[in-house]
C-alpha cells in the first residue's frame, strides 16, 4: 500500500478488516468478509498467505492463529453457531464472572429449529430464549444473568448453584423477583424446577463465602444437621464470618495466614469483646479444626445453639 494516501489506506479492505477483528476478539466471519467486498478468491488468497486462519467453518482469526482466551473461544463458538446463538450454561456463567471458566468444549444455545449442530469444540443446546433473556457482554452474545442461572441449575449440584446465585447478587444486585420472572419465561426448561426449589429456601447473596475455609464450615453445618447461618454479614458495625441470628451466635473461622500476626490476634480479641458487649456469643475455629475435627466443631456449635434455646448463659 506504499504511495497511498491516509484516506486510501483507511478505506482499504484489510484496514477495515483489522478494525472489525479488533472489535471481535480477533475474529471475523465469512459473511462479514463478503460484506466488506472480498470475493471468494480474495478470501482464499488471504488464507493461503496467512492473513486469515480458520477456527470453525466460516469463522477466522485475522493475522495470527491464536484465539484471545477465553473470550475468543466463546465468540468464535457463537459466530459459528448462527446469528441467533448465545453463549450459555457454564461458559456464560464464567463470562458473567459467577464461576471459573471451563475448558475445552464451549456451550451455546440456538433456536429450536436451527439447523446448527454440535461440532468439534462446540456443544449446541436448543431452546427458545425470549428477548429479555438475551444479552451482550464484552462483545459476546450471551444468555442473560437470570437465564444463565437457570441453565446452571440444570447441570450443577445445588450448592454450586447457590454460590453462583450469591455471586450474581453480590456483583450485580440480582433480586429474587428478577429470577422469578425469568423462571416464568423459561417454562419447562430443565433448570426451572431446580432453581425454583433453591429460591424457595435460599435468599440471593445470603451465603456468599470468600474462602475455601468458609465454604467448608458451611458444608459442615449441612452435613451435621445444623441450621444454615448467614454469611459475611455486619453485626455491631463489624463484618463477621457466620451468624446464627436466632441464637445471637457469631462463628469466626480463622485461617492461619490471616490470623498469625500478633496485630491480627489483638484485633480479633478486640472484635470479640465488642460483639460480646453487644450481647452476642462468639466462637472461633481454626482451619485445622474445621477440616480435621469437623464433628467436634459441629458438636460445639450445636451446644451453643442448645444453650441459647434452653436460656442458659454461654459456657
Furthest CA-CA distance within the chain: 91
CB 295 within 8 A of CB 302: no
Q: 122-126 and 106-110 as β-strands: parallel, antiparallel, unpaired?
A: parallel
Tell which residue, 112, 115, 114, 93, has the closest CA to residue 102. 93
CA 291 to chain centre: 26
Cα–Cα dist 7/285, whole Å = 69
Interatomic CA distance for residues 67 and 53, integer angstroms = 10
Residue with cell 480477533: 26
Q: What is the pLDDT of residue 44?
A: 94
According to the 3-state scheme, what is the secondary structure of 285-312? EEHHHHHHCHHHHHHHHHHHHHHHHCCC
φ, ψ at 308 (rounded to 5°): -65, -45
Q: Which residues contact 310 (CB under 8 A, 6 or more apart)?
A: none
Q: Does domain 212-309 have CATH number 3.10.20.90?
A: no
CB environment 244-272: b (16+ within 10 A), e (fewer): beebbbbbbbbeeeebeeeeeeeebeebb
Rg of the chain over Cα atoms, rounded to whole angstroms, equals 26
pLDDT digits (tens, 9 = 90+) for 214-248: 999 999 999 999 999 999 999 999 999 999 999 99
**Which pLDDT value is given to residue 157?**
94
pLDDT at 74: 96
At residue 102, φ and ψ (nearest 5 deg) are: -75, 170
- Residue 181: all three cell numbers together: 420472572
Extents of the domains making up the chain: 6-62, 74-199, 212-309
Specify the pLDDT at position 1. 42
Q: What is the pLDDT of residue 253?
A: 93
Low-confidence ranges of the chain (pLDDT < 70): 1-11, 256-263, 312-315
Give tens-digit pLDDT for 192-222: 999 999 999 998 998 999 889 999 999 999 9
Return the pLDDT at 24.
93
Inter-residue contact 126 to 167 (CB < 8 Å): no
Taken in order 168, 90, 66, 25, is the CA torsion positive or negative?
A: negative
Q: Give Cα separations from 299 to 2, 88, 220, 246 (angstroms).
A: 80, 42, 11, 18
All three cell numbers of 119, joined, read 461440532
Tell me, what's the pLDDT at 103? 76
The model carries a pTM of 0.80
Q: Measure the CA–CA gap between 89 and 123, rounded to whole angstroms.
A: 10
Amino acid at each position: 500500500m506504499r504511495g497511498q494516501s491516509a484516506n486510501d489506506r483507511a478505506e482499504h479492505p484489510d484496514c477495515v478488516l483489522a478494525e472489525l477483528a479488533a472489535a471481535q476478539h480477533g475474529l471475523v466471519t465469512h459473511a462479514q468478509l463478503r460484506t466488506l467486498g472480498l470475493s471468494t478468491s480474495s478470501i482464499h488468497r488471504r488464507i493461503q498467505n496467512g492473513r486469515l486462519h480458520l477456527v470453525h467453518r466460516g469463522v477466522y482469526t485475522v493475522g495470527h492463529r491464536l484465539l484471545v482466551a477465553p473470550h475468543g473461544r466463546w465468540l468464535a463458538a457463537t459466530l459459528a453457531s448462527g446469528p441467533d446463538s448465545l453463549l450459555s450454561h457454564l461458559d456464560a456463567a464464567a463470562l458473567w464472572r459467577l464461576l471459573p471458566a471451563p475448558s475445552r468444549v464451549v456451550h451455546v444455545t440456538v433456536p429450536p429449529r436451527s439447523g446448527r449442530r454440535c461440532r468439534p469444540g462446540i456443544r449446541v443446546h436448543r431452546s427458545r430464549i425470549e428477548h429479555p433473556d438475551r444479552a451482550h457482554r464484552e462483545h459476546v452474545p450471551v444468555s442473560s444473568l437470570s437465564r444463565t442461572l437457570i441453565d446452571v441449575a440444570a447441570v450443577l449440584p445445588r450448592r454450586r448453584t447457590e454460590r453462583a446465585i450469591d455471586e450474581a447478587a453480590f456483583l450485580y444486585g440480582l433480586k429474587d423477583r428478577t429470577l422469578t420472572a425469568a423462571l416464568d419465561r423459561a417454562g419447562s426448561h430443565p433448570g426451572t424446577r431446580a432453581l425454583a426449589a433453591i429460591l424457595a429456601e435460599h435468599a440471593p447473596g445470603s451465603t456468599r463465602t470468600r474462602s475455601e475455609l468458609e465454604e467448608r464450615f458451611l458444608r459442615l453445618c449441612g452435613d451435621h444437621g445444623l441450621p444454615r447461618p448467614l454469611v459475611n454479614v455486619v453485626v455491631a458495625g463489624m463484618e463477621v464470618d457466620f451468624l446464627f441470628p436466632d441464637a445471637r451466635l457469631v462463628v469466626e473461622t480463622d485461617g492461619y495466614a490471616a490470623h498469625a500476626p500478633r496485630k491480627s490476634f489483638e484485633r480479633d480479641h478486640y472484635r470479640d469483646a465488642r460483639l460480646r458487649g453487644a450481647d452476642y456469643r462468639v466462637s472461633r475455629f481454626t482451619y485445622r479444626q474445621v477440616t480435621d475435627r469437623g464433628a467436634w466443631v459441629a458438636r460445639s456449635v450445636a451446644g451453643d445453639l442448645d444453650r441459647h434455646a434452653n436460656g442458659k448463659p454461654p459456657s
